[in-house]
Amino acid sequence: MASLRYLWNKRARFPLSSPLFYRAWAKRLLLFPSVLGRNWKRFRLGLKGAEIHPLAEIGLVRIEGHKRNLKVGKLSFLGRVHIALHDEVQIGERVCINDGVEILTASHDLNDPEWKHVKGKITIGDYVWIGTGAMLLPGVNIGKGAVVGARAVVTKDVAPYHVVTGTPASPIHKKRIEELNYNPCEFLAENRAWLIG
């Protein structure tokens, strides 16, 4: 969401002499280095082959492996996330991945005498929320609208709109509503300074 063109075109406008004008521009100038940093990170990942939508937010991510294996959809937010790209990671639209999350696309086969490397693609559907410190293991699919609780370790697929917690992650009785219409990028202070003032 922090593409400079988008923020400029959608910026909240206030009369020049109003206190709101000065307050909004003070916030924008203060937070502008962060906006530039996120844009630069998205641009650099794109140069290395990643497919990241111009309106996705990329925070302080640590990405290892072939960047061409990464796809991030529109209006998705990645905080301080570690991603190991031995295989593909596809992140849908309007996804929120909180700080401390680890996304691992490879491990070792415990039943192999040579302890061979095994890998698996990870797919994260639209409107998924992955809580702080969660870990996704190779080959899992997180269905649309699902929630992965903080510190959960996901070892198998998560059905759409289900909420999973624990180690290994398992569904709890509560299910998420299916009519979702939010943008996780709107909650960032940098974006709010431009869009709301």
Residues with catalytic function: 108
H/E run at residue 139? none
Determine how many CB atoms are found less than 10 A away from the CB of residue 138: 18
| Residue 64 backbone zone (phi > 0: left; psi -120 to 50: alpha; other: beta) | beta
Q: Which two tokens stand for residue 56?
A: 């996705």
Strands 62-65 and 82-85, by their bridges, are parallel
Sign of CA dihedral 43, 11, 91, 104: positive
